[in-house]
Amino acid sequence: MSAHHAAHKVDIEELKKSVRTYIAVFVTLLVLTGLTVGVAYFNLPIALAVVVALLIAIVKGSLVALFFMHLVHEVKVIYWTLALCVVFFIFLIFVPLATESNQSGIVARSPSLVLGAGEHGHQEGQAGEH
Amino acid sequence: MSAEAIPYTVEPHPDTGVPNPKLGMWLFLASEVMLFGALFSSYILLRVGAEKWPHHTETGLNVPLATINTAVLILSSVTVVMAWYSLKIGDIAKGKLYILATILCAFGFLVIKYFEYSAKFEHYVLFQADGTEVHGHVTDRTSEFITFQPDAHGAAGSPPAAMQLPVADVESGAIKFTNLGPWFSNFYAVYFTLTGLHGLHVVGGIVVFVYLLLTANSWWAKHPEQFTNRIECTGLYWHFVDLVWIFLFPSLYLL
């Protein structure tokens, strides 16, 4: 009985510590949100802007996953599930990109997809195909 | 049979080391990653293939409102995890309060999103023959004419005169006139699809949290640990909704 109480007490102490972590993560997430908005107005070259914005988003997402979703204390089966998910996600993002690079123009140069591109845009698109 | 017939709702399964609902939720979230991943992939494909894509300063999206929404969603993630913590230490009253706070944050997010969406649907563009665009708002609509009021440019001077656009010409396409809905451009199609699907997830979260709040007392009286686990699993879903927004926000509003 006393051992159970002692274990429960340790558990409560651990939980109380985690509250401080949640608040620290919350403040960090707010600061990083402000940072990502601020950086957007530096007018960086688009490639650099994408890298910076995604890096900040990855840090923010990791904080949410690790501390709010308790991934820091999770078991192996969850890690393996997510690792598999990451592999498929990478395929999902990059395989269509590879396809697009071999068939450039099919998606983007179809002016019918952009309202307001007008007849002029259509003629340009056709000219570009020849 | 009683509800106890469903095994491992509280204690970890000996094979996996986690209770079944938690593993089930993680598997569901993995499938959600694929769902949003497919849409992100489409967005990237459309964007890298486009000859011209609007810079974030040209899209007309409201960055300050979206920034506030980001903060609201992050706050709701904290309230969920605090609800779980309160239940873990046996404080059902505080737990319910934090669940209520989460629901309010979720509603706050949707209300802000409503203002963002309605601003886009009320913003009209008239494409002129010389290729220029006139932006403004519809002030009146009859069966024959649409009264279009172009926006004023700069502080000085009187606003431009309103235009009467024949409804028949607009409907036949002789006059190109539309609002900033998903049909306006690829960018707006992507914007409404991604934020719309995310918004549906927020609505789904609200439904579950409201159910949990309404049944909290009876669950807590019968199965406090199981109720705590339910809040943890719903919290996992909610954090995922927050996580998706963390990537949507810069991708759509800031790049």
Asked if A62 and A110 sit in the same domain, the reply is: no
User: What CATH number corresponds to the domain at position B101?
Assistant: 1.20.120.80
Asked if B166 and B197 sit in the same domain, the reply is: no
Please count the structural domains in chain A.
Answer: 2
CA atoms of B225 and B219, how far apart (whole Å): 9
Task: Return the number of other C-beta atoms located less than 10 Å from residue B3's C-beta.
Answer: 9
**Cα distances (Å, whole numbers) of residue B138 to A32, B113, B149, B176:** 39, 21, 6, 14
Evaluate whether residue B89 is within a structural domain.
yes
Asked if B73 and B197 sit in the same domain, the reply is: yes
Evaluate whether residue B37 is within a structural domain.
no
Pick the closest to residue B97 from B205, B231, B203 (CA basis).
Answer: B231
Q: Give the long-range contacts of residues A41-50, CB within 8 A, separation 24 or more.
A: A46/B255, A49/B254, A49/B255, A50/B255
Asked if A100 and A125 sit in the same domain, the reply is: yes
Give the residue numbers spanning the domain of B202.
Answer: 62-122+181-255
Size of interface A-B (CB pairs under 8 A): 156
Mutate to test the interface with A, among B57, B75, B81 (most CBs of A within 10 A): B81
Give B252→chain A minimum CA distance, Å. 11
Asked if A9 and A57 sit in the same domain, the reply is: yes
Asked if B69 and B109 sit in the same domain, the reply is: yes
* Cβ separation A54–B185 shorter than 8 A: no
Asked if A44 and A93 sit in the same domain, the reply is: no
Per-residue pLDDT 10s for chain A (130 aa) are: 444 444 455 578 888 889 999 999 999 999 999 999 999 988 889 899 999 999 999 999 999 999 999 999 899 999 999 999 999 999 998 887 776 555 544 454 444 444 444 444 333 333 333 2
Name the pTM for this structure: 0.87
Q: Does ipTM come in above 0.95?
A: no
Asked if B186 and B234 sit in the same domain, the reply is: yes
Each residue of B16-70: pLDDT tens digit?
Answer: 889 999 999 999 999 999 999 999 999 998 998 888 898 888 888 999 999 999 9
**Cα distances (Å, whole numbers) of residue B36 to B42, B196, B249:** 10, 12, 14
Each residue of B173-187: pLDDT tens digit?
Answer: 899 999 999 999 999
Cross-chain CB nearest to B255 (options A33, A53, A108):
A53
Asked if B188 and B253 sit in the same domain, the reply is: yes
Give the residue numbers spanning the domain of A47.
Answer: 1-74
Evaluate whether residue B188 is within a structural domain.
yes
Task: Determine the residue of chain B that is closest to A29 in CA distance.
Answer: B74
CA atoms of A68 and A72, how far apart (whole Å): 9
Cross-chain CB nearest to A33 (options B48, B71, B127):
B71
Please count the structural domains in chain B.
Answer: 2
